[in-house]
Amino acid sequence: MSWERNIVLKSPAEIEMMKQAGHINALALEEVRKNIRPGVSTGELDEIAETLIRDHGGTPAFLNYPGPYPYPATINASINDELVHGLPSKKRELREGDIFSVDCGTVFQGFVGDSAFTVAIGEVSKEAQKLIAVTAEALRLGIDKMRPGNHVGDVSAAIQQYVEANGFHVPREYSGHGVGRQMHEGPQVPNYGLPGQGLVLRPGITIALEPMVLAGTHRTRVLADKWTVASADGSLTAHFEHSVAVNEGEPLILTV
């Protein structure tokens, strides 16, 4: 898919609409977060997200999304070595010591909000704590580069350099992306890249920025369910995401 060809600039009124979609998505993730505990199934968390989104007049953006087969759920529920696109299930319970990544998308009045977080379930290893903290900080650093005149490569490089300086890795096959009337628009925003390369950012560009970080390798594999993407070596992974608008001044985070 060439997302570079599909860049859609948003008007201030459209960005206001995206803030509403993003807000509902943030509420859904917050509701999921409140219910995360050892013993809860990822299928239950999926229902909680779907109910909140529909109660606010939205629809789940991931449900029926085209792929190896239509995506069957509201959230991606990815545990430990699972990086993204994990399938929620009533048979899969969170356990003390897991790290858990939740990704969710909401469509509201024709606009999409897309965001994600990773959280520790109870006590986790020092490495897991560091992985989560580094991934969250990589997102913050990337967002800070989303300013007019900067290149997409400045954003990508900020993420890659910080992650690799901390001894972790970024995948090559999965990227951030433009977001708006479609969940995936241009430009593609990889989590690796070179400063000064790629599209020049300008106000009205809206991007779902999503550092995905793997502890042991940049390589990934797709599990037998055909959706779940995991680290190739079984090492832990983390994922944070916000939908963000490039503004004249500070970048505007839409999924809050």
Interface residues with Mg ion (CB under 5 A)? 103, 114, 116, 208, 241
Q: Where are the beta strands (DSSP E) in 30-178?
A: 59-60, 75-79, 82-84, 99-108, 111-120, 176-178
Residue among 208 and 253 whose Cβ is closer to Mg ion: 208
3-state secondary structure of 236: coil
Q: How far is the CB of 128 from Mg ion (least distance, A)?
A: 21
> Cis omega before residue 187 (within 30°)?
yes
3-state secondary structure of 208: strand
Q: How far is the CB of 167 from Mg ion (least distance, A)?
A: 25
Q: How far is the CB of 179 from Mg ion (least distance, A)?
A: 7
Q: How far is the CB of 195 from Mg ion (least distance, A)?
A: 23
Residue among 48 and 75 whose Cβ is closer to Mg ion: 75
C-alpha pair distances (Å), 145 with each of 195, 206, 229, 249? 10, 13, 27, 11
Among 216, 215, 167, 210, which Cα is nearest to 192's?
210
Residue among 103 and 154 whose Cβ is closer to Mg ion: 103
Q: Which two tokens stand for residue 129?
A: 């704590």
Q: How far is the CB of 251 from Mg ion (least distance, A)?
A: 16
Residue among 59 and 97 whose Cβ is closer to Mg ion: 59
Residue among 99 and 179 whose Cβ is closer to Mg ion: 179
38 neighbors 122 (Cβ within 8 angstroms): yes
